[in-house]
Amino acid sequence: MLEVENLHVHYGGIHALRGVSISVGQGEIVTIIGANGAGKSTLLNAISGIVKTSEGAMTFKGSPLPTASCAIVKQGICQVPEGRLVFANLTVLDNLMLGAYLRHDHKAIKSDLDRVYELFPRLRERAGQMAGTLSGGEQQMLTIGRGLMSDPELVLLDEPSLGLAPILVETIFQVIEDIRKAGKTLLLVEQNAHKALSTADRAYVLEQGQIVKSGNARELLDDPSIQESYLGVKQ
């Protein structure tokens, strides 16, 4: 579904991605794990058209990915960014409706809104509240819900469980499974490598802007070097 080939990204003098190639198949959950600063967010932002690439090619469903971020969203790729980037000065409902900014199918938008409220009942209770007044966890639910409102085919999730209480982490990963069941494809970036590898089908390990390992997520979960670097298991 998504093919990324030999992608390079520079921030001024910093060479953040050095020839990254990944592929994501229809209906898969693919995860990218890596240390802080490895370039995970950069990769998602390159796919979303937020950062410029200096080299490489990306195709989505067989055709080249557009470069403008709005055109990419229109193609059915949405990113749920890290750091709970809600529109704090707007209500929860406004935030969700902005997720559906490019859509005009009012009936379907309404039913997607109900689905988001089912996934996160808390958002329905808080619909009229300013998003900036939500708790951190609620804001994270809102960014995920807002992303789903675009009715994407491919969801890019950037560290959805960061800074959440364990019970909420469970909820988020449950939602990730639900999203997949609804027929969507997911590319998941996570610090919580254990959760990510147990949920995903396939995984890539990113180190200093390069893919150093890839394969079946279960197998990587049992890989001794992964266990040592990312799962905190002492050999």
Partner 1 sequence: MAQFLQQMINGLSIGSVYALMAVGYSLVYSIMSFSNFAHGGVIMLGSYFGFYLLTLAHWAFPAAFVGAALCSAGLAVIVERVAYRPLRLRNAPFLYFIISAMGASIFLENFVVATIGPTFRTYPTVLPRAPIEIGSVYIGRLDIMIFIISAVCLALLVYFLDRTKVGKAVQATAHNARAAKLMGINTDLVITLVFAIGGLLAGVAGVMFGMKYTVYPQMGGITIKSFIAAVFGGLGSLPGAVIGSLILGIMETLISGYFSSQFRDLISFTLLIAVLVFRPMGLMGKATEEKA
Ligand X SMILES: Nc1ncnc2c1ncn2[C@@H]1O[C@H](COP(=O)(O)OP(=O)(O)OP(=O)(O)O)[C@@H](O)[C@H]1O
Interacting residue ranges for ligand X, rule: CB under 6 A: 11, 14, 16, 34, 36-42, 82
Gap between the Cα atoms of 228 and 207, Å rounded:
14
- By 3-state DSSP, what share of the chain in percent is helix, strand and coil, each rounded to 5? 40, 25, 35
Gap between the Cα atoms of 92 and 8, Å rounded:
36
Cβ distance to partner 1 smaller for residue 102 or 212: 102
Gap between the Cα atoms of 217 and 211, Å rounded:
15
Under the rule (CB under 5 A), what is the footprint of Mg ion?
A: 41
In the complex, the smallest distance separating the C-beta of residue 36 from ligand X, rounded to whole angstroms, is 4
Under the rule (CB under 8 A), what is the footprint of partner 1?
A: 48-50, 68-70, 73-74, 78-79, 81, 83-90, 94, 97-99, 101-102, 132, 136, 139, 146-147, 150
Cβ distance to Mg ion smaller for residue 30 or 109: 30
Residue pair 100/109 in contact by the 8 Å Cβ criterion: yes
Residue pair 176/7 in contact by the 8 Å Cβ criterion: no
In the complex, the smallest distance separating the C-beta of residue 50 from partner 1, rounded to whole angstroms, is 6
Cβ distance to ligand X smaller for residue 21 or 91: 21
**Given strand 63-64, what is the order of strands in its sheet?**
14-24, 2-11, 55-60, 63-64
In the complex, the smallest distance separating the C-beta of residue 22 from ligand X, rounded to whole angstroms, is 14
- Which amino acid, one-letter code, is at 111? S
Site of tokens 């969700």: 96
Alpha helix (H) residue ranges in the chain: 40-47, 69-75, 92-99, 106-119, 121-125, 136-148, 166-181, 193-199, 217-222, 224-230
In the complex, the smallest distance separating the C-beta of residue 128 from partner 1, rounded to whole angstroms, is 14
Residue 109: count of CB within 10 angstroms of its CB = 18
Q: At what angle are helices 136-148 and 166-181 packed, to 10 degrees?
A: 10
Q: Residue 39 binds which one of Mg ion, ligand X, partner 1, none, with CB within 5 to 8 A depending on kind?
A: ligand X
Q: Residue 38 binds which one of Mg ion, partner 1, ligand X, none, with CB within 5 to 8 A depending on kind?
A: ligand X
Cβ distance to ligand X smaller for residue 14 or 182: 14
Cβ distance to partner 1 smaller for residue 61 or 213: 61
In the complex, the smallest distance separating the C-beta of residue 14 from ligand X, rounded to whole angstroms, is 5
Cβ distance to partner 1 smaller for residue 85 or 168: 85
Q: Residue 136 binds which one of partner 1, ligand X, Mg ion, none, with CB within 5 to 8 A depending on kind?
A: partner 1
Q: Residue 102 binds which one of Mg ion, ligand X, partner 1, none, with CB within 5 to 8 A depending on kind?
A: partner 1
